[in-house]
Amino acid sequence: MKTLTDDTLSQVARFLKALGEITRLRILRALHDKELTVSDIIRQTDASQSNISKHLSVLTSVGILSCRKEGTSIYYRVSDPNITTICDTVCRSIADKIIQGRNTLNNIRKGVVL
């Protein structure tokens, strides 16, 4: 990171900030390896159309998503496969920590010394 300029770090911060919202993460999960219409995303995330539109706008503005129009439908997709890889890695790491914490707590409750 030493070679990154402040402008680049600012863009990275905007990118990461856009990922810091659960509805946006649900959208990325829905779009994991496919392209979906807004209606499909609404169904898969169980959120309102206005809420999804707002979050799609944020994700598109920072370059996380791209879209194309076909007839009256707009299709969204993750713009770079590295984004999916980053999200998968972070989510898997956090899920592992949660499981590890639960196991530790269960062992403490059982009186098992770690």
> How many angstroms separate the Cα of 110 from the Cα of each of 89, 97, 99, 103, 113?
31, 20, 16, 10, 9
CATH of 1-79, one of 3.40.50.300, 3.30.1490.20, 3.90.1300.10, 1.10.10.10: 1.10.10.10
- The pLDDT score that the predictor gives to residue 100 is 85
The predicted structure's pLDDT at residue 1: 66
Q: Which pLDDT score is estimated for 68?
A: 97
Q: What is the mean pLDDT of the chain?
A: 91
Tokens 């969204």 correspond to 76
Domain range summary for the chain, segments of one domain joined by +: 1-79, 80-114
Predicted pLDDT at 114: 56
pLDDT for position 106: 80
Residue 14 and residue 63 in contact, taking contact as beta carbons nearer than 8 Å: no
Considering only CA atoms, which of 22, 44, 36, 40 is closest in space to residue 65?
Answer: 36
Q: Which residues of the chain have pLDDT under 50?
A: none
Distance of alpha carbon 25 from its chain centroid, rounded? Answer: 3
pTM of the model: 0.80
